[in-house]
Amino acid sequence: MSSDHLVAPADATNLPIARLTLHEQIVTRLRDMVTDGSLPSGQRINEVAVGEQLGVSRTPLREALKTLAGEGLIELVPGRGTVVRKFTLQGVADALEVLKALEQLAAHRACAKATDAEIEMVLNLHRRMMDCYAARDRLSYFKLNQAIHSAILEIAGNPTLARMHQMLQAQMKRIRFIGNERAEKWAGAVAEHEAMAAALAARDGAALAVLLGQHLDNTLERVRDAL
């Protein structure tokens, strides 16, 4: 047997291979199902039905539901199971307010400590996002948008901050997704992103924080009638 088999194949990274438990996989699947609407908000989740649909037993499914409840995506009603959380306008406003505080903190930190390579990476994401806007590719735009915000949070280098942000972002994902449907709203968001990219390139944390704040304030307006 040639020793080639002992070295990593060409496409392998050196990262430890992902050891996903069933529980974790279910968590991400359910998160996606909430985002894409196959689990409508307010819907009661039937454990046996969803379990069969995903091909898993109730045990890991229930564990996943507990995790998602901790993230605030669903709610546990004792004796009556779980329902997908329903957002009121006020609830969204509240969440966006917290998101704003977190992202502004991240903005200051990120601008202060980002390497040139990291900034270039974000700007690259931004350019690709703009291409998607030009092509009116809403789904790709949306994913890159989230990636940019997450990247800034990563660069800030505060794992706790990143965790909290991800939780909130997951909650808002569904609503934001339906939010940018109207063309003029989308255009507005794009303009804001241009300004934010410029502030980041200039490492102007204060300016970036202000722009992020405005962006999120406007987000509330954009998603207003998506409820």
Note the residues at the interface with a second copy (CB under 8 A): 19-21, 23-24, 59, 62-64, 66-67, 69-72, 76, 78-79, 91, 94-95, 97-98, 101-102, 104-105, 158-161, 163-164, 167-168
Burial class (CB in 10 A: 0-12, 13-18, 19+), 227: middle
d(CA 124, CA 118): 10
Which of DNA, a second copy, none sits in contact with 47, Cβ below 5 to 8 A by type? DNA
Stretch that binds DNA, among 79-87, 101-109, 131-139, 153-161 (CB under 7 A): 79-87
Task: Scan residues 55-74 and list those touching DNA (CB under 7 A).
Answer: 56-60, 62-63
Residue 147, both tokens:
């990636």
Task: Scan residues 88-127 and list those touching DNA (CB under 7 A).
Answer: none
Q: Which one, 94 or 120, has the nearer CB to a second copy?
A: 94
At closest approach, how far in Å is the CB of 64 from DNA? 9
d(CA 182, CA 218): 14
Contact pick of 72, 75, 81, 186 for DNA (by CB under 7 A): 81
At closest approach, how far in Å is the CB of 214 from a second copy? 17
At closest approach, how far in Å is the CB of 20 from DNA? 8
Contact pick of 33, 43, 47, 161 for DNA (by CB under 7 A): 47
At closest approach, how far in Å is the CB of 50 from DNA? 8
H-assigned helices in the chain: 22-35, 47-54, 58-71, 89-113, 116-134, 138-156, 159-179, 183-201, 205-223
Burial class (CB in 10 A: 0-12, 13-18, 19+), 121: middle
- Reading phi first (left if > 0) and then psi (alpha if -120 to 50, else beta), residue 37 is in left
Residue 209, both tokens:
């924080």
Applying CB under 7 A, what is the total number of residues that bind DNA? Answer: 24
